Chains A and B, each alone.
Chain A
């Protein structure tokens, strides 16, 4: 299966199953488009006429395409289906990442919060050290031969339980040597409680910090308000700037949410850049259809254009020596995941779970509060094996809709929670999200093509 697209000056052909990406000229682009439907004898005169090109040149182009096909980098068949599930089978029972909900409470009252202001449709609560310690012990015990373990301090607002975050981090560090494990921590925060102590701790202990900022002040303050209804932008931006400055190049993401209020989210990204932030992520809101924040069909063309304009902005800024990172455009074509990972799905419910303040296990943070998805707890482990099996069976080939999608080996079947909310099944798909994902991949691959061209030109200049 191939996918062809034209974006600005680029004609790009992706060979889905080999993972090959070709930047081509228009002649090759058109020949590839009809290569499988027509014969050489039909294609050559047609293209020679169309492009007013020397027939020998067209024949040469056609033969280059045939050569690529023979090498297995064009029109390659999907031979991976038998491998689906292999990785999960091999690593069955291994847990390598936990999302610790250390606080089911929040000091903001954001209108679009998927977690109902941190409460996840339940009671307000904070995680005790004992529960968190048990969760870390559960993780170590079930992590098999896996060396790097990932733990995200999440909420609600995790800094409302900062003492426990510090205690749990110290505990994890204390058992690293004896267990032969290495913990990579992430903190996801709205910024309200950031102070020098938090900054010092985060920069010392957190591999990554995810900071919630929606961009423009008026956009941010429309949703991200406190319980009195006051916007939080003015209070958090100086704290974020201080934290990032002190971070000295360590990983962080400024992460925004865009909704029906701001489908033109590139303006929000520009605000983040103006504030001096360079590691950025903007995510489409997750909410029920019909919610005022939900993205609509009318928003879709606007959003798709933002992704294209964002790629253009990244190219321009890179040329000016002012590059920035957009999370979804970070694509390592030569060093990305192997095919096993690409067909295995996201790992929620199997290698990744969320832990509530009471120690209950859920397939991921998005399912917390949905009682039927409760997997077990950190003392007894996973007891609801039926639900876990449902998640274990989630892979690219388990979703009929993915079979004809060129982007399936870049997304691995997508988000189970989005699928559940949109289609009523974790094995469904969230079509709107698919549209956005495909556009993001087209843009990300175009950026890679441009980067490789720049590098080639630089090599020639040397």
Chain B
């Protein structure tokens, strides 16, 4: 019996090896303007590859 279902997520350790291009959107430049987070942002690199 399967007790655990792992969701598809970006492996953060892997992203440490090849990341940090800085092309992503600035965190607060959108609909929040007050309660900024980064979780709902897109990676520009990944977006372009899609």
Contact (Cβ within 8 A) A337 B43: yes
A-B contact number at CB 8 A: 216
Contact (Cβ within 8 A) B22 A91: yes
B38 partner, pick from A334, A337, A444, beta carbons under 8 A = A337
A120 to chain B, nearest CB (A): 14
B31 partner, pick from A114, A253, A347, A441, beta carbons under 8 A = A253
**Interface of A: prevailing SS:** mixed
B8 to chain A, nearest CB (A): 5
Interface bin, chain B: 35 or more
Contact (Cβ within 8 A) B26 A68: no
| Contacts A284-B34, A340-B20, A411-B37; A76 near B13 (Cβ below 8 A) | yes
B2 to chain A, nearest CB (A): 8
B1-50 contacts to A, CB under 8 A, are 1-13, 15-16, 19-20, 22-47, 50
Say yes or no: is A241 at the interface (Cβ < 8 Å to chain B).
no
| Chain B hits for A323, CB < 8 A | none
What is the CA–CA distance of A257 and B23 in the complex, to the nearest angstrom? 30
| Chain B hits for A289, CB < 8 A | none
What is the CA–CA distance of A364 and B30 in the complex, to the nearest angstrom? 13
A5 to chain B, nearest CB (A): 14
Contact (Cβ within 8 A) A364 B28: yes
What is the CA–CA distance of A441 and B36 in the complex, to the nearest angstrom? 12
| Chain B hits for A440, CB < 8 A | 37
What is the CA–CA distance of A61 and B4 in the complex, to the nearest angstrom? 8
A281-305 contacts to B, CB under 8 A, are 281, 283-284, 286
Contact (Cβ within 8 A) B42 A208: no
| Chain B hits for A73, CB < 8 A | 6
| Chain A hits for B5, CB < 8 A | 22-24, 453
Closest to A333 in B: B9
A83 to chain B, nearest CB (A): 6
**Interface of B: prevailing SS:** loop
What is the CA–CA distance of A436 and B32 in the complex, to the nearest angstrom? 14
* Residue tally, chain A, CB below 8 Å to B: 90
Most chain A CB within 10 A, of B4, B11, B32, B44, is at B4
What is the CA–CA distance of A188 and B32 in the complex, to the nearest angstrom? 11
Contact (Cβ within 8 A) B41 A341: yes
What is the CA–CA distance of A454 and B35 in the complex, to the nearest angstrom? 30
Contact (Cβ within 8 A) A412 B9: no
B30 to chain A, nearest CB (A): 7
A334 partner, pick from B10, B16, B31, beta carbons under 8 A = B10
| Chain A hits for B34, CB < 8 A | 114, 283-284, 286, 366, 415, 417-418
| Contacts A286-B34, A335-B46; A18 near B7 (Cβ below 8 A) | no
| Contacts A72-B13, A352-B26; A415 near B36 (Cβ below 8 A) | yes
18 contacting pairs across A/B (C-beta < 8 A): A25-B4, A61-B4, A65-B4, A90-B22, A150-B26, A255-B33, A284-B35, A286-B34, A327-B32, A328-B35, A328-B37, A330-B40, A331-B40, A334-B9, A335-B42, A337-B24, A411-B37, A415-B28
Seen from chain B, the residues whose Cβ lies within 8 Å of a Cβ on chain A are 1-13, 15-16, 19-20, 22-47, 50
